[in-house]
Structure 1
Amino acid sequence: MRDRLLAAFVTLTVLVVALYGIPRAYQVAGMVREQEHRKIERSVDLVAVVLAEHLAEGDEVTEEYLTPMLNAAETLSYVAPDGTETVAGPRFHPAPSDIVLTRNVDGGGTVTLTRAGGLVDERVSDAVYPLVVIGLGLVLVSAGVAVILARRLARPFGELAASAERLGRGQFDLDVPRYAVPEADQIGASLRTAAERLEDVVRREREFSANASHQLRTPVTALRLQLEDLSMWPETPDTVREELQHSLGELDRLSGAVTELLALSRGRLTASAVELDLADLVDAAVGRWAVLAPDGRQVVARLAGRVPCEVAPGPVGQILDVLIDNALKHGAGTVTVSARDEGTDVVVAVANEGARPASTDIFRRRVSGDTSGGEGIGLAVARDLAEALDGRLSLAPGTTTTFVLTVPRSPRSAPPGERASAQGVSGTISMAPLGHSSTHRPQPLQ
């Protein structure tokens, strides 16, 4: 904005100077030429009178007699009645700008006075030069004033932009000052109001997340105690006890998912980042879903080696659960999960042989029964989780369906609150698999 204001001020000044200075310069040039013309008229009239008196006394007109009557860059020519021409002064090539005047001399003959156009142009330049200097001075002064005014006018909007950026990062304690510029002050008031409203909305969402997580932990804990007690009964068969032990582990994962989503809603997800091998997460996810694949479908891992990184394993595992479940439910053929290292980022791809969705709203939230596009809220939550990890979830181009999760190898530093907030994730739970039988299907958000 400052540059545009500066350009506007300077352009306006140049236009004003040009609109006034150019006509004025032409006017001054015309006045100088007219003045020079009048000087030549007076001079040639005076020479004609002097020559008439000189001839009346019977004297002869010579070059030496005419020379003292000349000024700089002038030529004087006398043509006698018999055609004899006497010339005094420098000889120069005629030019359109030369001033040439001829007068008849009493007693016979004519006298011609010529002033070189170069001298006239030089005097015009001398007269116009101050106008040019004044115009350039005005432009420079206006540029200096424009810099000061542009900074003063642009400063409030720069501060407002910084406040808006802080508000976008989740910092609601904005200290927006009052401004003398009405437009800037109105924007500042709107930012203060928006910050207060957003802070209230986020507070309510966090309270809801805390209440929801507490309400979920209570029945999960009770269910875990019942299953744990059931697994210790002597009457419980070994096969059932083994299945119960596995279910206890999955209940622990569910409880961890609740905790991680609560941390996500509070913007503290990256605190759980640990050093790990991404290939291990892929193997674990494939192992959970391979036994749950329908008949004729497979879930396989395609890994070229270790993929070391520092990420939050819970959210990444939840994203993988959503993507694999989505591939089994809406895709076709074999589901292939791969991971690779791309320098500063690590990438996980979940591909199946089904046709790529044509809709561009696949990540858009929709409620159950909505046929307008999207895949429920599962993919939307997975996308929000990826953004909370400073990564992104996208649908790769091609004829078949491939979801690509890209996250940094290690968390990027960011001020508190800058991480992606819940954006509707608060209170949503991605259920992990609760068993390895067809009656215990995992329930990712859809």
Structure 2
Amino acid sequence: MVAAIAVLLLGVPLGLVVTRLIDDEAAQQLRAQATLLLSQVEYASIEDRPIDPDELQRQYPARYVQIFIRDRPTVVVGAEPPPDRQMTEETQSESGVFVRITRDRAHVERNIRGWLMLIVALAGLALAVAVSLAVVQSRRLALPLLDLARIAERLGSGDARPSRHRYGIPELDRVAEVLDRSATRISELLSREREFATDASHQLRTPLTGLTMRLEEIVAAATQPAIVREEGEAAIVQAERLTKVIDELLAAARRQRHAQTEAIDLDEVLGQQITEWEPAFRRSRRELVLAGDRGLHAMVTKGGLSQVLATLLENSLEHGDGPVTITTGSSDRSIVIEVADCGPGIPEHLRTRVFERNVSGAGGTGLGLTLARALTASDGGRLELVRARPAVFALFLRPAVETARQRVVSGPA
């Protein structure tokens, strides 16, 4: 429509101008012929020569010529056009010679129609080119928009894969970039939710196992009130620990655990873990030993450290052999807790990948050590494998005395 309006705004004035120019040119040509004819007639009169109609017919074809000379007969050359199509020019001299020359306007109109048809053809060509360009441009704009609509619909249905499509149009490319960033964020959120569900199921298994063992002890000691009371209190502790595990997992999911660290008495946490795991080791005819320095304090979260130690002890119980030794020590920069057993250890090909998610060499879930390292890192510490055979894991924690001059900014690995 814009192209049609532009063509009309240009084509109509151009047609009028061309019509006027052709008309004026025809009139000017007829006027020049009349002037030339008058000079020829006067020259013939001066020389007293007769006017030859045949000569005039050859000189002025398709013209109707009338010559009036005083005291001489009128000379007429050519056929007179119809009255409604006549173009006439007249001129006369002081000697009494009068010349009238007439032409058929149909020839001029035919010329005008030819030029107008050329203008119309050019206008049609311009419209065709404009329509073609409009179709190409509209497809160039419409197809990316349809593609973006499909991508948005796919995001809404839960398929959060970035498309990486770019279309060469800055505005549409910005929209595509925003959708890709949104897809990445949605994918991260979904992945975090899945990881949280997996981590929660894994981490809750250990306290539930401990709670089950305590309940079994209660059932086995039903005739001994003192043991029933002791085991019941231990079961309550396990239930409270289960609640703390849930709180820890939720805090880790929100990436806020590093703000909850405080000075913790390691003897209290280690004693609690030995109390919880000693029955399981006793049933397996294995020994759980606590060695090293006492009275150490570290900057950790109590629940996080408990989960890490529980994971290491559970791995030693399931995959290790012989006595399990928990050794504590300290240096100027860190407090170290080592958990070692006398089992076959970790295969060489898994030594560098033991902390990777879903990597397990003994039919496990491959999540325990990954979560343990993440929980340790969120407290500002490190969990490392210091020896593969037999396996020795070491926890490096921040001493409580460093809280005044250090601030933890790291999050879960």
Give the TM-score, by structure 2 length: 0.45
Between structure 1 and structure 2, the one with the greater Rg is 2
Of Structure 1 and Structure 2, which has the larger fraction of its residues in helix? 2
